[in-house]
């Protein structure tokens, strides 16, 4: 882990709200794991001051063969506006890889990944890792509308069975997603479920995991400052294995946590 100035290879919009950035970073491409994140020193957006704090961003792709690290991001505010202003050849200061990533059990035959919006960026490399290890993947991608469904191609290329649900088509309600997951488990089996990016989907995953006897993990998004476990800005409450409430740093003990230990918000 360290602070690196990486050349921008590409930084382009992929839809009205989401952007894709590719950085040249050979050592980081080898080091970064699915579920980990980088802490980004976003430059000043045009006409605005530079953000004071870094911004956390999940590893979307870390490709050792190409020496590249990639981010898939939503332009949400000050920092990500500055990020979107970077052009090929610019240098981007990124700190990481940070945090604890996902865990895959080689005994599993199939996992379910369930996420919404940029939460899918966090789960895409997990689906690729699973595929490489011979673990099947059912990917349920949730979005506002069909145009907003992210990561469809990456998941499909990894060999995942991809099911998209959207608000505009009326298919993303928790009851409908629950029915889809029950049907997927009945059809092909699954031993674990992974989620990110939505409180509603976290609650649904926890309930279904209990009902169907699935293991699982959740990647949490929490505003953070140092990203290194020192400032305690990102502390959240969890239910420990013994049922007691514990406080943990999302940046350091996470951002990936056992599914049933996360408390919904
Ligand atoms: C571990 C981790 C991984 C993440 N991965 C991704 C990713 O792959 N792609 C992506 O688009 N976003 C990701 N996020 C969220 C991303 O960090 C925020 O969208 C970003 O910090 C917003 O910064 P900003 O300056 O553009 O917006 P700000 O002006 O700071 O805020 C704009 C809005 O975003 C909210 N926000 C700010 N920081 C966070 C945060 N850390 N988490 C959630 N909401 C926040 C604010 O409450 C506000 O509503 C991740 C967050 C974490 C903690």
Q: Does residue 239 form part of some domain?
A: no
Residues 122 and 186 placed together within one structural domain of the fold: yes
Residue range 154-163: mean pLDDT, rounded: 94
3-class DSSP state of 26: helix
List pLDDT tens digits, range 192-230: 999 997 899 999 999 999 999 999 999 999 999 999 999
Mean pLDDT of the chain: 95
Residues 91 and 192 placed together within one structural domain of the fold: no
Q: Does residue 80 form part of some domain?
A: yes
Q: Does residue 256 form part of some domain?
A: no
Out of 36, 56, 95, mutate this one to test ligand 1's pocket (max ligand atoms within 8 Å of CB): namely 56
Rounded-to-integer distance, Cα 248 and Cα 216, Å: 18
- Confidence label for 241 from pLDDT (cuts 50, 70 and 90): confident
Residue range 34-54: mean pLDDT, rounded: 95
Rounded-to-integer distance, Cα 41 and Cα 83, Å: 9
Ligand 1 atom closest to Cα of residue 99: 1
Query: At residue 183, does pLDDT exceed 90?
Result: yes
Q: In CATH, what number is assigned to the domain containing residue 156?
A: 3.40.50.80
What is the 8 CA–ligand 1 centroid distance (Å)?
20
Out of 36, 73, 76, 81, mutate this one to test ligand 1's pocket (max ligand atoms within 8 Å of CB): namely 76
Residue 12: what pLDDT? 98
Phi-psi region of 121 (alpha: psi -120 to 50; beta: other; left: phi over 0): alpha
Ligand 1, atom 19, lies closest to the CA of: 76
List pLDDT tens digits, range 62-110: 989 999 999 999 999 999 999 999 999 999 999 999 999 999 999 999 9
Ligand 1, atom 6, lies closest to the CA of: 57
- Confidence label for 242 from pLDDT (cuts 50, 70 and 90): confident
Query: At residue 151, does pLDDT exceed 80?
Result: yes
Residues 115 and 212 placed together within one structural domain of the fold: yes
Ligand 1, atom 21, lies closest to the CA of: 55
- Our count of domains for the chain comes to 2
Query: At residue 265, does pLDDT exceed 80?
Result: no
- Confidence label for 17 from pLDDT (cuts 50, 70 and 90): confident
Residue range 127-133: mean pLDDT, rounded: 94
Residues 137 and 208 placed together within one structural domain of the fold: yes
Domain boundary among 200, 219, 238: 219
Q: Does residue 225 form part of some domain?
A: no
Residue 133: what pLDDT? 94
Residue 128: what pLDDT? 95
Residue 44: what pLDDT? 95
Q: Does residue 146 form part of some domain?
A: yes
What is the 9 CA–ligand 1 centroid distance (Å)?
22
Ligand 1 residue neighbourhood (C-beta within 6 Å): 37, 51, 55-58, 71-74, 76-80, 118, 121-122, 221-224, 255
Residue range 179-201: mean pLDDT, rounded: 93
What is the 220 CA–ligand 1 centroid distance (Å)?
11
* Residue with the larger pLDDT of the pair 1 and 239: 239
Rounded-to-integer distance, Cα 69 and Cα 39, Å: 13
């Amino acid at each position: 882990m360290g602070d690196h100035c990486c050349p921008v290879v590409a930084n382009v919009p992929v839809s009205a709200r989401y952007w894709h950035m590719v950085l040249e970073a050979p050592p980081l491409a080898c080091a970064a794991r699915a579920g980990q994140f980088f802490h980004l020193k976003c430059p000043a957006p045009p006409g605005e001051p530079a953000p004071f704090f870094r911004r956390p961003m999940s590893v979307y792709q870390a490709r050792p063969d190409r020496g590249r690290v990639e981010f898939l991001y939503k332009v949400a505010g000050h920092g990500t506006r500055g990020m979107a202003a970077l052009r090929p050849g610019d240098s981007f200061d990124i700190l990481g890889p940070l945090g604890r990533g996902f865990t895959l059990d080689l005994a599993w035959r199939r996992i379910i990944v369930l996420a919404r919006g940029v939460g899918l960026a966090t789960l895409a490399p997990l689906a690729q890792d699973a595929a490489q290890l011979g673990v099947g993947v059912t990917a349920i991608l949730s979005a506002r509308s069909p145009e907003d469904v992210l990561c469809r191609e990456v998941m499909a290329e990894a060999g995942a069975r991809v099911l998209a649900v959207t608000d505009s088509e009326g298919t993303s309600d928790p009851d409908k997603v629950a029915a889809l997951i029950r049907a997927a488990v009945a059809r092909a089996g699954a031993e674990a479920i992974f989620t990110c990016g939505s409180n509603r989907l976290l609650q649904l995953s926890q309930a279904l995991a209990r009902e169907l006897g699935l293991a699982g993990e959740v990647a949490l998004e929490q505003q953070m400052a140092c990203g290194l476990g020192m400032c305690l800005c990102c502390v959240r409450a969890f239910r420990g294995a013994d049922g007691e409430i514990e406080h943990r740093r999302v940046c350091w003990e996470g951002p990936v946590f056992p599914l049933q230990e996360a408390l919904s918000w």
